[in-house]
Chain A
Amino acid sequence: MAAAGAESQTVQEYIVHHLSYLTFGRHPDGHWGFAHSPEEASEMGFMAIHVDTMGWSIALGAAFLLWFRRVGLRASASNPGAIQNFVESIFEFVDNRVSEGFTHKNSLIGPMALTIFVWVLLMNAMDLVPVDWITGIAAWVGEHVFGFDHMPFKIVPTTDPNITMGMSLSIFLLIIWYSIKHKGLGGFLGELAFHPFGKWMVPFNLMIEIPTMLAKPISLGLRLFGNLYAGELLFLLIAGLLGLWQLPAHFVWAVFHILVVPLQAFVFMMLTIVYLNAAHEPAH
């Protein structure tokens, strides 16, 4: 699983290559194109998109939803097949978590929890694909077909903070939206200003409550990113440093990682449910 055809690469180059994104964006001179080195990518700043992680993210999400829809269209109440049972068990698992954790009426929460759980699970599971298979093929294709030396191609979307923060910030916007909807703007601001110490301590309350509020989406996104990034990095270190010994080491770490993959998807889903449930509580 060592880098294919990359004897000249140092371990550092190998890891940097694997941690870089295939970036498409606006170069400093104003024209749009792919970044051919990490330096070029960072010069693009905000006006760039990670084609690899974004593409995998959309592909996995679309595959999951279309597949579920296909199974759902053929689903029969009286005579479910094996695949239907499998999908239904996921559905029921999520549905039960939602009905336990979410005590208000909102038909969006269930589908959102299902989307988060399965989508994040699939994105995390990409971490279990050996680190050089798809990345190696893509690098070869990039070099020989497009003349793109050392083309990076990251396949685990949740090791990209843009992906995890994109989701957690969307959820943060929903939290604010539903808070204002159910508590009123006054109730929402009141919770920030008058808790926990009453109206004579407003500045102090704000100092506590605003970071608390902001910490939710940031910790939500960074927790997922950090876990997966660390896992990925360890796979890369094993692949880059251990030579032949990487085979058992990869196996051991992959087994641990099998626990991390669904656990982080589950945590992300549960926290979303809990945060949104709190947003639906009337002001007190």
Chain B
Amino acid sequence: MRSMNGTRVVVIGAGIVGAACARELALTGGFQVTVVDRGGAAEATTAHGEGNVLVSDKGPGPELRLAQLSRRLWPETLAAVAARSPRAADVVRAVEWDPKGGIVVATTEAGAAELTRFAAAQRAAGVRAEPLDAAALAAAEPHLTRDHAAALHYPEDAQVQPAAAAAALLGDALAHGATLRTGCEVRGARTRGGRLTAVRTTEGDLAADLVINAAGPWSGRLAARLGAPVDVRPRRGDILVTAPLPPTVFHKVYDADYVGAVGSSAEDLQTSAVVEATRGGSVLLGSSRRRTGFDDRLRPDVLSALAAKALRLFPGLAGVAVMRAYGGFRPYVPDHLPVIGADPRLPGLWHASGHEGAGIGLSLGTARLLRDLVCGAEPEIDPAPFRVDRPAVLGASATAPSEESA
């Protein structure tokens, strides 16, 4: 590993990915890490998701490898944070790490055949995917519809309370010398000899040897401001929250359609049933995906579609009150792969973004990969599929004029 003594790093975005990157670099030593966010820490995309740490929804390929690395890192990272102090242990308890496992249900024969094929390929890639017969499924999820064609159990799937997870990672970074500046918006770049030397912010310039773009769905816009646009766009997801219930849903249960919806690029609305309980007793019902820019208007038709899909899996929930609905913007890249690595167009700029709905789960693997790349160490997984200079990332926006470039 190269020596990084005194390397000044500015991480833009205090969401889960920025927090994970800041922590990884702060713990490595040799970096002076500053995390900046125009709002508060972890309050945007991170606090508006479900907290998925999943392997079940990913087919063999680079994203699954990143998910598997992340899944391994989650328990050991949380244990390391908790070991720092009693207060840190409290913070980690609030993360509500729950390796509850996922159950994927196909409701049609065609869906069942597809799910069986998909699971076989996942098993070949090292994922635990166990078929459940009707009796085993009824034992695992007694309130689930009996009207299904196939079901698979993914014991590795887990859930966290995402905002608390980000706060725990960021808090650990701060405890290891990083600093946090909230309410500080990055306006543009300062360069010398074609190299990024500082970011201009609403609070003045911040000198940096490395700048990490971890601005989630806003990272496309941020990159344009810095003069190196990447094609990361917002894709909205909505979630319903029920009133607290006695234990009713025990795993993360979802319709096999979900995998297809995740992989789809359609602009219009995609919904599939994703049902799980939280520690507070509420049941979260997702998920929808639609590309509407940063439009946060409530769409009752979307909520209706979510409710109808959820009731297909859990018909017994029809009388349960929905207390709340929330939505968030996920950073979407047309080829559905995160963007992790150095930007060859602007030395000094790095990206860690584009995780769409999987950023909570993938944050730790992303941070580890980024650290290895920054330090010149051999990464555990092949970083090439995530590189910045691939057509899906530079495609449309790289040639489009940017209205906000600095």
A-B complex is real: no
- A interface residues with partner B (beta carbon < 8 Å): none
- B interface residues with partner A (beta carbon < 8 Å): none
